[in-house]
Amino acid sequence: MTGPSDWSDVSHQLTALQAAVAAAQQAALDSIGSSDADAFLQQLSALADTLATAQPALARALTAERPPGEVIAQVRQVGAAIEQLLTLNTRLSAQAQRALAVLFPQDQVKAYSRLGGKGLGTGGPGSGYLKA
């Protein structure tokens, strides 16, 4: 199997991937100051679609013959950008978990669960109000 003699299509796909990763990173950063992560999720979905579309052709091209240096550099840039996005997402997730832990300390959550598990007596209206 021979690879592409013209690597411009591969380069265009890698450029599209770079743009999709950059858009997802920006949406992640924008979500920090707001309470809405929908734009970030939409960009991640768009990135997943771009990856799914580009992956088969990129895999064929990159394994068929040695790509030019510019293409190798683009592949490395895309990989590094995806790693940065993963790191950013991990940090954002950890921040959200810490915020939830401050709002709902585990000791208090457990205390409310135990209180709800005991019931409120008669079994009438509201008796299961605090049950988890």
- State how far the alpha carbon of 59 is from the alpha carbons of 1, 20, 107, in Å: 13, 18, 51
Residues in the chain: 132
Per residue in 9-25, pLDDT tens? 899 999 999 999 999 99
Residue 40 to residue 24: CA distance in whole angstroms: 6
Q: What is the pLDDT of residue 61?
A: 83
- Give CA torsion, residues 10, 14, 17, 23, to 10 deg: -140
Residue type, position 68, single letter: P
Total-model pTM = 0.69
Kind plus residue range of the DSSP H or E element containing 65: none
Mean pLDDT value across residues 58-79: 89
